[in-house]
Amino acid sequence: MKKRLMPCIVLIFAIMCSFSAYAMEVPTETVVQNLNGVQQYIKTFTVSPDADPQELIEEPFEYEGFTYKYASIIKAENEYADEMQQTQTMTVETAKKDLSAVLDALPVSVEYDDGRYSGTLYLDHSTIETVASGYATRSYTVSTTKEYGNLDSNDMSYVPSTAVKDGKTLPLVNVEWAIQGSALVDDVLVPSTYKAIATYSDKAYYSAATGYVTTADYIGTVECEEISSITYTVTYVGEEIKPAEDEITRANESIEAGTEDSGLIAQGVWLYVVAGLLIVALAGAAIYFFRYRKSNGSASKRGVSRKE
């Protein structure tokens, strides 16, 4: 019995090892054919580009009376192509806000490449937006000049201390006097009227941009061309399995051994049956003998009682 169980155990173990070794990849197509007298077993796999093709090749195996061995592997790349619209925003800084300065800072086109898609994007002028990047306080001088004439003397009281320009009140900072007219007094010509030329000035402050930031969109069509997967065609060549003479002899010996084992088992069964029958017969005889002695004993006791 042990000799007949061992081949089954070995076969089951071999099948389990085969499943574990090739469970990672499953063929997308399997073809068994005889081409020009050559028996072939062809397996087709579609795998990722980084897959190792050597892992797809199996050790020699048997199938429907043939032993198949690896013969060749063919590789075919499956390409993927696509295109789409892409938008990319660019930011530049300028010292001025005018459009000419902004356009000088912005390129007409840019190249796009994200590792998969690539192409050329072009400036969309309608998306240009410019804002100040920051502000600083700056100052400038506001000044005005006033003339006051026909004054009888060059007295400062005739000159106002402030003046208004563009809504801003300016303080007096300087006065220049000029003789506007003269008169003869005791045969001496003396100034009779004066003119004051007054200067008013002060600083004004305002907030000015320190620079400008411009954003603009670049739009275009980008394309993708890559290898999405690889198809491997693995071919095995088969050789018909022919049983050898010693294998036939071992098979016959196994059959004969099985017949002898059956005869021995039958003989053993008959021995057990005969032994069982003997045990049953002995047990019956013992019971009968025990009951016979018991009944004779009772009868003897009843005879003694009658005599008395």
Give the pair of three-digit tokens for residue 82. 């696509």
Q: Which amino acid is at 274?
A: V
Please check whether residues 238 and 252 belong to one and the same domain. no
Please check whether residues 65 and 27 belong to one and the same domain. yes
Please check whether residues 13 and 50 belong to one and the same domain. yes
- Asked, for residue 41, whether it belongs to a domain, the answer is yes
Q: What angle do CA 131, 135, 141 make, to 5 degrees?
A: 125
Report H helices in 31-113: 99-105
Q: Who has greater pLDDT, 253 or 213?
A: 213
194 has pLDDT over 50: yes
Instruction: Identify the three-state secondary structure at position 286.
Output: helix
- Asked, for residue 153, whether it belongs to a domain, the answer is no
Please check whether residues 18 and 64 belong to one and the same domain. yes
- Asked, for residue 91, whether it belongs to a domain, the answer is no
Instruction: Identify the three-state secondary structure at position 1.
Output: coil
pLDDT in tens, 88-142: 999 999 999 999 999 999 999 999 999 999 999 999 999 999 999 999 999 999 9
Length in residues, the chain? 308
Please check whether residues 237 and 274 belong to one and the same domain. no
- Asked, for residue 42, whether it belongs to a domain, the answer is yes
- Asked if 195 contacts 177 with a C-beta cutoff of 8 angstroms, the reply is yes
pLDDT in tens, 57-89: 999 999 999 999 999 999 999 999 999 999 999
- Asked, for residue 124, whether it belongs to a domain, the answer is no
How far is 29 from 231, CA to CA, in rounded Å? 11
- Asked if 191 contacts 184 with a C-beta cutoff of 8 angstroms, the reply is no
- Asked, for residue 131, whether it belongs to a domain, the answer is no
Domain of 234 in residue numbering reads as 2-78+229-245
- Asked, for residue 106, whether it belongs to a domain, the answer is no
How far is 256 from 247, CA to CA, in rounded Å? 14
The whole-number average pLDDT for the span 284-304 is 56
Count of domains in the chain?
2
- Asked, for residue 234, whether it belongs to a domain, the answer is yes
Query: DSSP labels for 128-171?
Result: EEEEEEEEEEEEEEEEEEEEEEEESS--GGGS-SEEEETTEEEE
Please check whether residues 240 and 253 belong to one and the same domain. no
pTM of the complete model: 0.49
Give all strands (DSSP E) within the chain, no chain letters.
Answer: 29-35, 38-47, 61-63, 66-94, 109-113, 117-151, 162-165, 168-185, 188-240
Please check whether residues 22 and 41 belong to one and the same domain. yes
- Domain end, chosen from 245, 277, 302, is at 245
pLDDT in tens, 13-30: 444 444 434 445 789 999
